[in-house]
Amino acid sequence: MESVRTKSKAPAVDASVLMLNLIARSNYPLTLSEICSQINLPPASGHRIINALLEHQMVALDPNRKKAYCIGSKIFQIASTIYNKQSIIPFFYPVAEILKNEIHKSIFLYAPVGNKVVAVAKVEFSVAGLLTFQLGQTMPLHCSASGIAILSMQSDEFKNDYIKAEEKNDPNIAYSLDEINDDLSRAKRLGYAVTQQENGSHFSSIAAPVLNLRNEPIAAISAVINGEFLSKQSARHYSKNLVQAARQLSAHII
């Protein structure tokens, strides 16, 4: 259960974000009492915030359940605007369909956002068993195959700044500076990156960077592999088609 952080400098903003996340994840419209209960928010505060969200069309009253709320039209407008700016996405689908049929795996497109990667598009080979891999999934760059593939193509200065920032934010970071650099060097040399049990799941991932004409990474195309461990031999097998797909996608990028 998520709850509002008591020491935040902007508790109303925190509560608004928690509300929107909760409503978006729910399989049915939620009443205000249900929302407040799940995020540990006082009803009076919840009432003020939900009315503000209603006014800005971030949430809406659902006609099928009395006094229950669903995601509002403004969220879809914002998402649509962002989606349309991702000019790579329309080119991703035909490339991913071919790749999916070649290797019989679900294919994802990840875009870098700050120090993280976000899943922005997917083509599924099978809907079974991929509940932990969904659109909008966000991970630190060094914790995902897509992020490592993207990070490996950045400048040395960018990589060093990223690693130092991550170590500062999390002193208990699972990877050491040398280990991350080894992963990045390997990914750059091979043209693809591999992670085992990505995002705490029972799946491995293999990803290749998508580059623009200046050889800058703007995205990564990733395949999700069933099983907890992806051997070097299997990775080489999948990488042939994956790297080719990434190159095809890169050819569409200015």
Domain locations in the chain as residue ranges: 11-79, 86-250
Average pLDDT over residues 36-63: 92
Hey, what amino acid is at 131? L
Rounded CA gap, 239 and 206, in Å?
A: 8
Q: Which of 34-38, 80-84, 163-167 has the lowest mean pLDDT?
A: 80-84
Name the burial class of residue 103, with classes exposed (0-12), middle (13-18) and buried (19+) by CB atoms within 10 angstroms of its CB.
buried
Count the alpha carbons within 13 Å of 26 in the hemisphere toward its beta carbon.
19
Q: What is the pTM of this model?
A: 0.69
Rounded CA gap, 135 and 151, in Å?
A: 21
Q: 238 pLDDT exceeds 60?
A: yes
Q: 8 pLDDT exceeds 70?
A: no
Rounded CA gap, 42 and 49, in Å?
A: 11
pLDDT of residue 125: 86
| CATH number for region 11-79 | 1.10.10.10
For 115, other C-beta atoms within 10 Å of its C-beta total 15
Label the pairing between strands 217-226 and 106-113.
Answer: antiparallel
Question: Domain 86-250 is in which class?
Answer: alpha beta
| Residues forming beta bridges with residue 61, ordered by sequence position | 69
Q: 82 pLDDT exceeds 80?
A: no
Average pLDDT over residues 1-29: 80
Hey, what amino acid is at 41? L
Count of residues for the chain? 254
Rounded CA gap, 222 and 242, in Å?
A: 8
Q: What is the mean pLDDT of the chain?
A: 85
pLDDT of residue 208: 97
What sign does the dihedral 87-93-73-12 (CA atoms) show? negative
Average pLDDT over residues 120-135: 72
Q: Indicate the Cα dihedral angle 87, 17, 143, 188, nearest 10°.
A: 20
Q: Assess contact for 115 and 141: CB atoms under 8 A.
A: yes
pLDDT of residue 135: 78
Which ranges of 144-229 would DSSP assign to H, the alpha helix?
Answer: 145-152, 156-169, 177-190
Grade residue 12 by pLDDT with cuts at 50, 70 and 90: confident
Scored b (16 or more CB within 10 A) or e, 139-169 reads: bbbbbbbbbbbbbbbbeeeebeebbeebeee
Q: Assess contact for 25 and 34: CB atoms under 8 A.
A: no
Q: 172 pLDDT exceeds 70?
A: no
pLDDT of residue 99: 95
